[in-house]
């Protein structure tokens, strides 16, 4: 799964990377502790070109009467995203890319203590997650999104059984629907050897924590 991540790339660099038109109300960066329900940086495709825009991280099905009318849907499993009533139409028609520098995951000690890890790309490139999105609300529609997850690859299986689906640059057009059909073939854990990970300070266990120190490698005694 993915329940927390970091984003550091400036918006103008994001727009240049994706050749996308940026919105004026993008979230502030850097943010080393992106939490569910906040706005995140999302790229969409379409006939008018790619757009870089803010979306609420937490997909809201159209039948919810309020954002808290049911479970908080921050992730969508690749194995079932095309079948679940909440996600299936978005999976066919509204796929997106969600930008990150890396994400956090937790393990537990035998005593139940949560130990945070930070996971990023070895090559230092931005980490681009597969996402789905839809507008929610009638009077003032609000775009909302979820991160698609897969089974963990051999890199991360020792930390968690799930991971975000990472989309490589060559596959962006396929996932965004710009290159025709075939996005389903992208829904796999991805090749091993792409990622690096290290323990970080438990301060990130709090959703109020902030600052670049959250992703620094923890030096243990």
Alpha helices in 48-132 (DSSP H): 88-93
Active site residue 105: yes
**Global pTM value:** 0.96
| The one catalytic residue among 91, 96, 105, 145 | 105
Q: What pLDDT does 202 receive?
A: 95
* pLDDT score recorded for residue 221: 54
Per-residue pLDDT of the chain (221 residues; tens, 9 = 90+): 789 999 999 999 999 999 999 999 999 999 999 999 999 999 999 989 999 999 999 999 999 999 999 999 999 999 999 999 999 999 999 999 999 999 999 999 899 889 999 999 999 999 999 999 999 998 889 999 999 999 999 989 999 999 999 999 999 999 999 998 899 999 988 888 999 999 999 999 999 999 999 999 998 65
**Is-catalytic flag, 2?**
yes
Which entry of 2, 91, 96, 145 is annotated as an active-site residue? 2
Q: Is 89 helix (H, G, I), strand (E, B) or coil?
A: helix
Domains of the chain are 5-214 (3.90.1680.10)
- Residue 10, CA distances (Å) to 16, 30, 64, 167 in order: 10, 8, 34, 20
């Amino acid at each position: 799964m993915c329940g927390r991540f970091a984003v550091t790339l400036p918006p103008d660099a994001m727009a240049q990377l994706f050749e996308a038109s940026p919105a004026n109300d993008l979230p502030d960066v850097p943010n080393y502790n992106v939490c569910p329900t906040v706005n995140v940086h999302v790229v969409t495709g379409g006939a008018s070109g790619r757009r870089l825009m803010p979306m609420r991280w937490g997909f809201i099905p159209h039948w919810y009467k309020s954002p808290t009318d049911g479970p908080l849907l921050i992730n969508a499993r690749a194995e079932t995203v095309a079948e679940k009533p909440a996600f299936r139409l978005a999976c066919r028609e509204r796929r997106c890319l969600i930008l990150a520098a890396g994400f956090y995951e937790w393990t537990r000690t035998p005593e139940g203590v949560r130990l945070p890890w930070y996971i990023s790309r070895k090559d230092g490139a931005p980490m681009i997650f597969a996402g789905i999105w839809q507008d929610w609300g009638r009077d003032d529609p609000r775009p909302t999104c979820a991160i698609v997850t897969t089974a963990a690859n051999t890199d991360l299986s020792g930390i968690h059984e799930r991971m975000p689906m990472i989309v490589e640059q060559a596959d962006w057009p396929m996932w965004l629907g710009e290159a025709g059909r075939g996005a389903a073939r992208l829904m796999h854990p991805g090749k091993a050897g792409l990622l690096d990970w290290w323990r970080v300070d438990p301060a990130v266990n709090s959703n109020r924590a902030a600052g670049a120190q959250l992703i620094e490698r923890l030096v243990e005694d």
